[in-house]
Amino acid sequence: MKRRRKKRSTKQYAVIAFYEKNNRWPAPSSQNVKERHLGEWITRCRFIRNHSPEKLTEKQIQLIDRIDADKAQKKTERWMANYEMLKDFVEKEKRWPSVNASEPEEIRLVNWCLSQRITRKNTPKSKQNKEHIKLLDDIGFHWSSNNKRRTWKESFNLVKDYYARTGQWPAHTRDPEESRLAKWCSKMRAYKNRTDTSVTLSPGQIKKLSNLGFDWTNSQENNRRSPENTNRIWIERYHHFCEFTTNNKRYPKAKSGDPQEESLYSWWMRMAYLKRKGKLSNERIHLLDCIGFRWGKGNE
């Protein structure tokens, strides 16, 4: 126990030194190995603080509280900066950002608006940020997304335009619109390759996509998922999982009605499956064990 406490103290001083040098806290999704390890240590300590605080020293708890306070402050500052950008845009253009925009700044505002709608929809009323909602209401924000189902032709044309504009096929990224197009592309591949038999593409549809030079494979390269990017995404999911279990005092449910929670449930089951098959790295198993990860529903 003393050895473990000493190790945590060493990490604690390393985290503080990192902050003093870089004026920011270590990120668990960093590509720098040393920084990533410090960021992962913060995540583990945060989990321990919320579940077994007696295992941490008072200084370690104070450090995690300080990090969380800084994180909350920066999150608020980013939100306000985006809000002011949206407000200025509406006042200047006399309209709301369009999903058909080509300007990077307007596209960014479209995505931010979408994230506000999703956040409000998926957050219990008692936990919603009433101040943010009021600020958006004051400028006449539209809370309905008008995200109607697209026809095959509409999706095809959007993918066609995207490819003509970027020279790449849509990938699963943080951009909601690009991810939506990437999902459609994945479905087309699955339908043609018969890994999904729920829909059969017509010869005409296959020909249209083939004439575009559509890539019917689903390689890592085509999805722009480098090993570094894959690891970053895993760390982010790990971090989200930790936050969910900490905030809700339970594990995610399969049929909660919340897409984000259901996605975390799928990730939980996926990790358990990969471990059973021997396809999960020892490093990731260790990270999950550190938060008391339950390896399957039977351990609930």
pLDDT band at 222 (very low <50, low <70, confident <90, very high): very low
Q: What is the pLDDT of residue 31?
A: 81
With a cut of 80, say whether residue 148 has pLDDT above it.
no
% of the chain exceeding 90 in pLDDT: 24
Q: What is the pLDDT of residue 167?
A: 75
pLDDT band at 136 (very low <50, low <70, confident <90, very high): very high
Indicate the DSSP class of residue 100. T
In this structure, of 44-58, 71-85, 173-187, 192-206, the range with the lowest mean pLDDT score is: 173-187
pLDDT tens per residue, range 254-295: 777 777 777 788 888 888 888 888 888 888 888 888 888 888
pLDDT band at 299 (very low <50, low <70, confident <90, very high): very low
Indicate the DSSP class of residue 53. G
In this prediction, residues 153-179 reach a mean pLDDT of 81
With a cut of 70, say whether residue 147 has pLDDT above it.
no
Q: Retrieve residue 107's tokens.
A: 């596209």
- The full set of domain ranges for the chain reads 2-68, 96-138, 152-211, 227-299
Q: Retrieve residue 78's tokens.
A: 């980013």
In this prediction, residues 171-191 reach a mean pLDDT of 81
With a cut of 80, say whether residue 152 has pLDDT above it.
yes
With a cut of 70, say whether residue 4 has pLDDT above it.
no
pLDDT tens per residue, range 223-246: 555 566 677 778 888 888 888 888
Q: What is the pLDDT of residue 135?
A: 94
176 or 267, higher pLDDT:
267
CA distance 256 to 248: 13
With a cut of 90, say whether residue 145 has pLDDT above it.
no
Q: What is the pLDDT of residue 63?
A: 93
71 or 255, higher pLDDT:
71
Report the residue count for the chain.
Answer: 300
CA distance 106 to 97: 6
Considering only CA atoms, which of 45, 75, 41 is closest in space to residue 57? 45
Burial 138-173 (b: 16+ CB within 10 A, else e): eeebeeeeeeeeeeeeebbebbeebbeeeeebbbbe
With a cut of 90, say whether residue 138 has pLDDT above it.
yes
Q: What is the pLDDT of residue 220?
A: 44
Report the predicted TM-score, pTM, of the whole model to 2 decimal places: 0.51
Cα distances (Å, whole numbers) of residue 161 to 12, 13, 164, 212: 50, 51, 5, 11
Contact 218, 189 (CB under 8 A): yes
Q: What is the pLDDT of residue 300?
A: 45
Considering only CA atoms, which of 184, 204, 180, 182 is closest in space to residue 196? 184
